[in-house]
Every structure is written in C-alpha cells, then in structure tokens.
Amino acid sequence: MRQVLLAAVLSGVFCAISSATSLAGRTLTPVRRAHTLNNRELAYRSIAPKRDIQLDYALSVHHPPAASVSFTAHNGLPILLLEDLDYLFESVLCSENVNNHIPGTMDLRFASADAFEEALDTWTDSGTFIVVTSHPSCNIANERGAWTVMATDGNFSQRSIRLTAVPTSMGNVGRTCHVKYDHSGVEFWDAREVLGLSRRAEQDDTQVFPFEYQSTFGARLPLFPPPNASLVPASVQNALKNVDIQIACLDCGLTSNLSVGVDFEIDLGDTNCTPSPTQNCFALNRAAVNFTVEDIVLSAELELFIGAEYTLSTQFDVLKIPVGPSFKFGTVIEIGAFFGLGVALDLDIPASLNITYGSQLHALTGAFASLDLVDGNGNFDPAVNAGGWDNVSLSQIPFRVNSGELDVISTLALQPFVEVDFTILEVGATARITLDLPEVDVNASLHTTTVNRECNPIGDNDFESFKDAFTVGAGLELDIMASFVVDMGEFIGSDIPNTWNDTFFHHEFPLLPSKGANDTGCFVLNDDPTSTTGTVASGSTSVTGLPASSGTLLAAASAVPSWNIPKIQSYLSASGQLPSNVNYGQMAQATTVPSDIKAAVAKIKTSSSGSKSTPTNKSKSNAAGKTSSAFTCWQSLLLLCLVGSWSVY
C-alpha cells in the first residue's frame, strides 16, 4: 500500500464569538513561494521534475504560509511544480478539457529561448511525469490541481511547449505526503510586500508568530435553552420541550491562546480504489491530538433557574465556534478546529430555585493534554496524558441563592471543549478534549424547625438558634475527558470503534464555603441586614453575617443568630455566670442587651479575645462578591469548568 503521512500542526487561539468569526468559514488558499535571485538561478538549472516538492497555503497572497504540503514522488513518476517556474513564462494557458477529467493540453510560452530549449529537452527525456499548478486557467479557483503528462511537444517559433495531460487526484501525486498547518501566523503580513530586495527573501514558514484573542460573551450568554438548537439531538430537544429551566453564563470572558497539534499517518490503497460501504481505500495508522496552553484567563458566573419540581438528567452542546481558517487538500483531507461549550445536568429539584456561582482562573504556559488513538502499526491503543497545571490560580465567586428553596440534589457541569474535525477520503471523525470544569454537586436540605449552629434541634444547653438553616454538602469534581467519534463513514476493516471516550483526570474539592460534597455543614443565607430576636442595637446596620431569605451561603458558626434572652437570664440567675456557648460579641453589636445581664456580657466581651467575643469578618469579604483562595494546581482548574468560556485546539 502507498503510505501517506499527514501531520498537521495547528497553533491557534480559541476565542469568543466576536473574535473567532473574523476567520471563521475561511479556507486557506494556494500561495506561491518567493524566491531569491540565487534560488531562481538554481531553479533554472533544476528545471527537471523533482522527487520532492512543497506546496504552500495562506490566508491570502499577502500573508506568510500557514500550511504546507510536502510530497515525495512515486518511483518513476516525478513531480513538476509549475508555479516554481513562473518567472520563466510569458503565459500559461490550459484547454477547457484539462479541468473536465478528460485529456487536455497545457500551453507554456517561455520568456527566453534558452529556458524554452532547456525545458523541452528535460521534459521530453523525463517521459511521463506529474504537473501540479494553481494557474487560474488550469484548475478551480483557489485550488491546486494535478495532471499526468503523457506527451511533450515544442514550438520553436513561439518558444512554446504543449503538454498533453490527464487530470489526476491530488492524492495520487506522491507516495508520501506531509501536511503542516501553523495557525499562529495566518493574519501576519508577509515580508514579500516590503519594498526593496527583501521582497525576494525566502519566507521562513517555520516562524512562530504571537497571536491571541481577547473577548467576552456579553453580560448574559444563554446556555439553556441552547442558542443553537441544531447542536442538540432531537431526542434531547423532545425531553426538554416543556421543562422550565434556564441556564446562563453571566459576564463570561476570556483571554486565551492555545497551541493545537494534530498528527495523522495514513496508508492509502491502490490508486484505482473507490471508497464504498465495504472499503475505505486507506488505513489510519496514527491519530494524535495535543493542545498546550500558552495563556488562559477565564471568568464566568453561572446562573441556574428551575421553575418547578423537576427530575432531569441530560447532556448536550450549546455552542461550537470555528477558530481560524480550515484547511482542505483536494479530496484527501479536510481539517477544521473548533471551540465549544456543552452542558451536563442531573437534577432532582422539589421546588423552584435560582442560584448563581462562578470563578476566575488564570492558567500559564505549559499546561497540556494529549490523545493518541492508535499505535505505529495502526492498532487501536488509546493513550492520554495531561500535566503542567501546577501554576493555575483561582478566585471563586460565592455560591448564592437568589430565590426559592435550597432543597436540592443536583449536578451541573459546564463543559468547554476543543476539537478537531477531519475528513479523510470520505470518512469523517472528531477528536475532542472536554473539560468537565467543574461538575458541581450540591446536596442541600432545608430545616423547617429551629436549629443551633450545627443544624441540630435546639436542646437544653442551646441559647442561640436559626429559623432558616441548611445542611449543605457542595463539591466540585474536575474531570478532563478525551473522546473520538466517527460521524461519517467508518474505518472498515480496522479495530477502531465508532465512539470512544476516557476520563483521564479526576479531582474533587469543596465549593466554598462548604467542606465538600460528602462532608456536610450547617449554613445560612447572608445578604441584607435582617432583624433578629430582641431589639436591634443602634448602628447595627453594619453588622455582618445577618441571615436573610436570599444571599450567599455563610457557615452558621460565623452568622448572627437569634438569642433566647430569657433563657440566658435564667441561666445567669441560677448559676451566677453566663453560658459559655454564646457569641456575646455578636450579641453586643447586633442587639440591645438587657440591663440585668449587661454588666456580665460587657465583662466577658472585654476579657475574651476568642472567636465568641468578636463578630467574624468572613462574611464581609463574601458579601463583597469574591473570596480568594490558594488552591493546588488541579483545584484551581475549577474555573475551567465553571467558566462558560474556554477561549482554542
């Protein structure tokens, strides 16, 4: 079998809608390589068809090459890249038949007699060879074509050579092929447009250009109902048709630069092979995908609204954005990179509820994840690797109940993904890395009876209480998953499955201020000041930690409770001292202390420096909107999940 190596290296930037669409839907077009004067002389001396050629592709003729295709010829069938000799021609004209899949002619008129005679002698001696060119009269606009030359005839009076040629597929040009796609430089201007001799300088197509996007998704990005229903399977749409659920990402924004690599190695069958339901005409011997972070800053706050009682479990994509121009090489291969968002829900909600939470994340250069699906012999042997996330930093936007009853069992995951879609000889597939970041598990139950700071029923030795408190376990599960889906045709005769996925990284950590999904604590809601039992003290509107009907979660241990003043008075009267399990600092600030215990309270407040004597300031920082935390590397990745935006492979 002929072997074709397709190695595509995409260095791209995943961005929000407003930035990504600047290149979306565009396809790289052929561009002719610039030549120095020395190279032109060398090309003249090497006018013969060659064993190796390189074809370049760019965003326009004014941009440097963003992709290149290198061919090694079949034995006995060398390749002539006609555009490399453009400076030798006065004109190139192809007959209409050349582009209609039947034999035709190519007439090449030379500028000098020497070049004409050298070409005629060389090409006649070469016999049969392949011609590749992008000249407008010879092929479809903005594409290259290939022809097998059957005869070479010269007209000395016109300094013209006529090639009799038969069209052939670009996939038949060589026995090996190497494709490189470097997205990072597609929008930078080429030195060839600079005046002077520098315009003739060779363009270094290995140069890496800095390239990044900054964008936001606006104040409110709808996630459900999805903004693009075409991405949601019909079965999911039917299941969600009458569901009163809204999910949105508030103030989602990102600055992101990711390098993406795709590497294919393909064995092609006989040149006369025709793809059919029973044969592919190729075998995929290598399929590797890698993305590496250059810099990512993500920010988002998720809002979940449940209008009524629901039990629901589903998963779907809500957004898929092309990033940069796609690359198409004849019928051999087509490659496109995308950034997208998905949502996964698993809800058990007994009543209406509106909650918000979020994070901000900064990931530095070096973090990566990679996927290799087959070994060197074409056997399906997936291997996944990830690392380098140690320097990720995170700040969390507090968990907030805006309305409704926090009595839920729920899992909500925002799933940014990066994928490469490719089609090889009529078989289409998708390789995707998904960040399940994070999967948020909330198990919260409302206490309908008065409880103490531990959410236990009031006992004989309890003097503080909360009317509305919650036992909450809330945690984040950070998952990174690799998947491979064949969505058109199939890899016939191979052991490559049509679908495959693997969760190769998993980490759990608490969603502040809880201790974790499986370690519950007692919480109240903290927002606007609310009157407690007893008379509110003068100036107490600045008291932090006052419970409210809606607001951010605050540990009951730090919140302002209601005090059973008569019970405290009785305890003092009976024992001669105040009970020790009361926060008298909060009492003195939040209420008017009765005169018969005022002196004792003042004495304890003055002598004690413990946590019971001074109101906590923790809730103040929470109410401000964001609580900074130092997390380990993977804990920090929580934002990648919470973020409705992953700015890409």
pLDDT tens column, 124-170:
999 999 999 888 888 887 888 899 999 999 999 999 999 999 888 88
Helix (H) or strand (E) holding 18: helix 17-20
Going from the C-alpha of 373 to that of each of 286, 377, 380, the distances in angstroms are: 7, 11, 6
Q: How far apart, in Å, are the Cα atoms of 191 and each of 30, 139, 209?
A: 17, 28, 13
* Contact assessment for residue 106 and residue 123, using Cβ atoms and an 8 Å cutoff: no
Answer yes or no: are the C-beta atoms of 260 and 294 closer than 8 Å. Answer: no
Distance CA 249, CA 256 (A): 18
Confidence (pLDDT) at 215 = 54
What CA–CA distance (Å, rounded) separates 344 from 411?
A: 8
Cβ neighbours for 156, distance < 8 A, ≥ 6 positions apart: 116
Q: What residue ranges do the domains of the chain occupy?
A: 17-200, 217-256+283-442+470-514+637-642
Is pTM beyond 0.75? Reply is no
Dump strand ranges (E) for 389-456: 393-404, 408-424, 427-447
Instruction: Note the residue count of the chain.
Output: 649
Identify which of 150, 116, 118 has the alpha carbon closest to the alpha carbon of residue 131. Answer: 150
272 three-class SS: coil
Tokens of 491: 């890899």
Q: What is the percent of the chain where pLDDT is above 70?
A: 72
CA–chain centroid gap for 420, Å, is 11
Mean pLDDT of successive 10-residue stretches along the chain, which has 649 residues: 38 29 61 63 70 86 77 86 90 74 87 94 93 86 88 96 90 75 48 33 32 59 81 81 83 71 70 74 77 74 83 84 77 80 81 80 76 83 81 71 79 78 86 73 83 95 93 74 86 85 75 71 73 38 74 89 96 94 92 92 71 38 36 34 31
Q: Output the DSSP codes for 437-462.
A: EEEEEEEEEEE-S-B-TTSPBP-TT-
Q: What is the pLDDT of residues 313-358, one digit of tens each?
A: 888 888 887 776 788 887 778 888 887 778 888 888 777 888 887 7
pLDDT of amino acid 132: 93
Report pLDDT for 362.
72
Q: What is the pLDDT of residue 158?
A: 95
Per-residue pLDDT, 372: 87
pLDDT attached to residue 157? 95
Q: Are 484 and 373 in contact (CB under 8 A)?
A: yes
Q: What are the residue ranges of helices labelled H in 225-372?
A: 234-239
pLDDT digits (tens, 9 = 90+) for 440-454: 677 888 888 899 999
3-class DSSP string for 473-509: EEEEEEEEEEEEEEEECCCCCCCCCCEEEEEEEEEEE
pLDDT digits (tens, 9 = 90+) for 51-67: 988 888 888 777 777 77
Spatial contact of 544 and 623, defined as CB atoms under 8 Å apart: yes
How many angstroms separate the CA atoms of 122 and 138, rounded?
22
> What whole-number distance in Å separates Cα of residue 129 and Cα of residue 80?
7
- Pair 454, 409: CB distance under 8 Å: no
User: What angle in degrees, to the nearest 10, is found between the helix axes of 565-575 and 595-607?
Assistant: 80
Tell me which DSSP letter residue 170 carries: G
